[in-house]
Amino acid sequence: MVNLPEPYIIRYPQIVAVADSAGERVELIEFFDCTGGAMWAQHHYAQSPLVCSARNVGPTMRYLLRPGESDLALEGSHFPAGISAVSVDEDEIRVSYVGLGGGGVGASICRSYAEGVTRSTNDPSGGGKRAGSMVWLPRRQRVLIGVDDTDTPEQGATWTLVHNISKAVEDHQSRYLSHTIVQLYPVPYRTKNCVSIVAEFASSDPARLVDHFAGLLDRYTLSEDTGMAVYTGFDPSNLMDFAWKVKRGEVTQGLILDIDDINLRIVMNGRGCIGAVAAIPFYTRYEEALTLCTDRN
């Protein structure tokens, strides 16, 4: 007979958090192992006053938070668990969870022992107890790396190369969060499908991450027109106008010079930098990213 060493604990595989430069917005990203538990948490945590939005992205649940504290008036079935406090300092982000019954188990020990938590406190939980935890996470920045034009008509695929490089450069300072394929306008000089890629990271050392990524991209690209663009910041929506222009028609490389955003940097300046920049604001926006804009529709 199989023994269950922790029959009433499901440890979250990983929790990371990114903050904007002012410390006024936090995105909490929880990787989950139990889909039902994650969906339950999303449904109820969204009621917390500190939660601005909650959404499921692949194997993660993402909570957009504002710093503060709230004395949650929990009620079984109706509002059994939530996020009660968020604080941001120079190096760390602290998040407090609280819940009733099974929700208290999830709010306490299940999250306290997740990878990425540097330290924590938690209450005894289980049965009908009200229990919670405080977890401390490294304060990280969002780093979005856009790439286009790494293949040739004979070989290669940009989406696979970017994913494999992203996995290779991931370490304790830089966590690989998402990969998004972005459909561009099918220009005549495309390889075949005309897509670019954006890889998302949460990093406490963006410079090292970008250097490592660029080195591998330069080593393995098959094209002389490869483009690589990097956005280091919380919200790249300032790039969306440019991105839609690239999705709707052919644009020139010079149009990138009109973008006024200090968080954007061109690392590899081949023709593919057009698609690389255009991919960035579509990170995790999969339906929009895959929209094909042509004369046929």
Distance of alpha carbon 247 from alpha carbon 217, whole angstroms: 24
My answer on whether 201 and 123 are in the same domain is: no
For the chain, what is the domain count? 2
Domain match, 151 and 251 both: yes
Q: What is the pLDDT of residues 248-269, one digit of tens each?
A: 988 888 889 889 899 999 999 9
In a domain, 297, yes or no: no
Residues 125 and 205 in one domain: no
- Write down the residue that tokens 């710093």 correspond to: 67
Closest CA to 224 of 265, 273, 260: 273
Mean pLDDT, rounded, of the chain: 94
- Average pLDDT, integer, range 66-94: 97
Quick one: 23 and 118 in the same domain?
yes
- pLDDT at residue 295 is higher than 70: no
Bridge partner residues of 75 (DSSP): 79
Domain boundary among 114, 138, 162: 138
Alpha carbon distance 241, 33 (integer Å): 37
Q: How much is the pLDDT for 182?
A: 97
Do residues 151 and 22 both lie within one domain?
A: no
Residue 262: how many other CB atoms lie within 10 Å: 7
Domain match, 38 and 150 both: no
Residue 67 sits in the same domain as residue 163: no
Confidence of residue 290 (pLDDT cuts 50, 70, 90): very high
Q: pLDDT confidence of 217, banded at 50, 70, 90?
A: very high
Last residue of a domain, one of 138, 168, 190: 138
Residue 252 and residue 249: Cα distance in Å, rounded?
10
Query: Do residues 234 and 263 both lie within one domain?
Result: yes
Domain boundary among 138, 164, 179: 138
pLDDT recorded at residue 218: 97
Residue 274's domain comprises 141-289
Residue 297's pLDDT is what? 47
Judge if 145 and 266 occupy the same domain: yes
Q: Concatenated DSSP letters for 129-190?
A: -EEEEEEEEE-BEEEEEEEE----SSS--HHHHHHHHHHHH--SSEEEEEEEEEE----TT-
pLDDT at 152: 78
| Residue 3 lies inside a defined structural domain of this protein | no
d(CA 284, CA 57): 7
pLDDT recorded at residue 294: 72
